[in-house]
Amino acid sequence: MNSVNEEQNFSNVATSKSASDGVSVSGLSGRELDAAVAERVMGWVWWATTLRFSAERRRALFQPELKNPDYQLADGSEEPFTGDNYFISHYSSSIAAAFEMQSRISDLGLAQEFAVALGQILLRGNTQPITAFDYANATAEQRCRAALQAVEKDHESS
């Protein structure tokens, strides 16, 4: 870790609740929002393991394809791991990472739901009609919120 802020941000990611905990995305921001995107949109999974240097079980988000045989699905009772050996993209603050997330939304067949959700987010507080320029210049955070809304709506309808 390069700074105390990064360590605190990482700790926030590690302590984010699972989507199955029914956590609302409206109150999430920063690294907690990134963790929600990793889990709910990108398909990352909470894995747990017993630490080698102690008998404690810890949990962390990992890409499913990176599963280690020493890990089991986390049940939520584990303390979060606060080390620095996993990485979640900064989906809510990096437009490149947000575009990666949008590609996943397209792969999931949720492009229409995403566009509708993004339009609703852009409309908030705006009295002018939304243009293509507004869509093109939506922030990474707005895109994350729209993606999470699209995924939630898809889960509700299925």
**Of 72 and 14, the one with more pLDDT:** 72
The stretch 84-90 carries a mean pLDDT of: 67
Compute the mean pLDDT over every residue in the chain, rounded to the nearest whole number.
79
Which helix (H) or strand (E) covers residue 32, if one does? helix 30-40
Residue 127 to residue 145: CA distance in whole angstroms: 21
Q: Are 32 and 16 in contact (CB under 8 A)?
A: yes
The residue extents of the domains of the chain are: 4-80, 95-157
30-to-10, 11, 14, 20, 69 alpha-carbon distances in Å? 10, 12, 13, 20, 31
Confidence of residue 113 (pLDDT cuts 50, 70, 90): very high
Confidence of residue 31 (pLDDT cuts 50, 70, 90): confident
**Of 110 and 74, the one with more pLDDT:** 110
Report the percentage of the chain scoring pLDDT > 70: 78
Residue 13 to residue 35: CA distance in whole angstroms: 6
